[in-house]
Amino acid sequence: MTRTILVTGANRGIGRELTHRLIADGDTVIALGRDAAALAELGCRTVVADLSRPETLAEAVSSIDHLDALVHNAGIAEVGPVAELGLDVWQRHMTVNVTAPAELTRLLLPAVRAARGHVVFVNSGAGLSAGALWSAYAASKHALKALADALRAEEKPNEVRVSTVYPGQVATDMQRQLKKSMGAPYDPEKVMSAGTAAESIRYVLNVPAEATVHDLRIAPSNVVPHATTMRR
């Protein structure tokens, strides 16, 4: 049966790979992102929206009344010591990585409930442990875990499933930019592909409705996961 699935951050990286796979499966995908041109290349229904402005999301998704799954994939990451991170950095992380997913979930819950659907949060290894330089990003991802856990408990009576996927290092533009900002080398042999990360999310979405994957942690096989490396 064809499902309708909304994917945020669909214009690049994991979100783009996931969108391609879901379309190939025959699902109807609603791709949400900021880059209208990149979204148009996906060949599916699109929603152009800016998660840094959660107050604009209600109008952007007002026409959606049935949703089998909502995948919160979009996110931002900046690194730096607590002593140097300004208020604007903290506010950006909390707005894009936590407040926007919470608001989008609130707006779309009626559509998800109508389908007895599924909400999937794409988190990070940083959502489980934090290392030096990762305070703002990790704090936002810990908060996203709390949002997912609370939502799972609240929506169980409505038969809405809630899952969190925690990818480790993934070969995305975000990963390359982070390595550069940290003055660290980017080694493509020590990251998983965006396609592999997307496949793990697809797996969670395809688990039969009689079961729910609460948490799925996935990391590159050729590195030892630890607090400073497990980052999406």
Which residues participate in catalysis according to the annotation?
Answer: 137
Nearest to 73 by CA among 33, 45, 125, 115: 33
CA distance 96 to 202: 23
Greatest CA separation for the chain: 52
Q: Which residue has the tokens 């992102």?
A: 33
Helix residue ranges per DSSP H, the chain:
13-24, 36-40, 57-60, 87-94, 100-114, 135-155, 173-182, 194-206
Q: What sign does the dihedral 118-123-125-127 (CA atoms) show?
A: negative
CA distances from 95 to 7, 37, 181, 231 (A): 18, 24, 22, 19
CA distance 215 to 226: 18
Residues in the chain: 232
Percent helix, percent strand, percent coil in the chain, to nearest 5: 45, 15, 40
- By the 8 A CB rule, do 79 and 184 touch? no
